Amino acid sequence: MQITPDHVVDLGHRLDNPEIGIVDRLLSGVRDGTDVGNLARPAIVDATRQLFGMGEQCFGMTDAYGVKRHSGWARVTLAMDSCCGTNMEFDLRRRGGHAVITHFACH
């Protein structure tokens, strides 16, 4: 929001870490059954579908998250309260002008 004496302008929603938004769109899309092929490699989409097949409890709470940016790529780590070990890791790289998830692992 931008507030001045004359008006209020909605500047929209903007994430401090846009990589988190991409991971969120992947997980939400897989959960909802929407096409997420533009966000991640097919093997990653399949792996996240398998996790959702284990039950919704796999994605109950995220205890913490982190984003580490490197030259040309970034790693998003989600510390989960259950399922898939302790951490979910997603690597993102730029492809065709937008970020794509190229690696997924649970530790």
DSSP code of 54? T
Distance, in Å, from the CA atom of 17 to the CA atom of 49, rounded to the nearest integer, reads 24
C-alpha to C-alpha distances, 15 to 18, 24, 82, 92, nearest whole angstrom? 5, 12, 25, 16
Average pLDDT, the chain: 85
Domain ranges of the chain: 15-106
Query: Does 69 score more than 90 pLDDT?
Result: yes
- Which residues partner with 70 through β-bridges? 73
CA atoms 32, 35, 39, 42: torsion sign: positive
What pLDDT sits at residue 21?
92
pTM assigned to the model: 0.78
Taking the C-alpha atoms of residue 37 and residue 103, their distance in angstroms, rounded to an integer, is 14
Higher pLDDT, 36 or 49: 36
**Can you give the pLDDT at residue 73?**
94
The model's confidence at residue 13, banded by pLDDT at 50, 70 and 90, is confident
pLDDT of residue 51: 79
Instruction: Determine the CATH number of domain 15-106.
Output: 3.10.450
pLDDT value of position 61: 67
Taking residues 16-37, report their average pLDDT.
Answer: 90
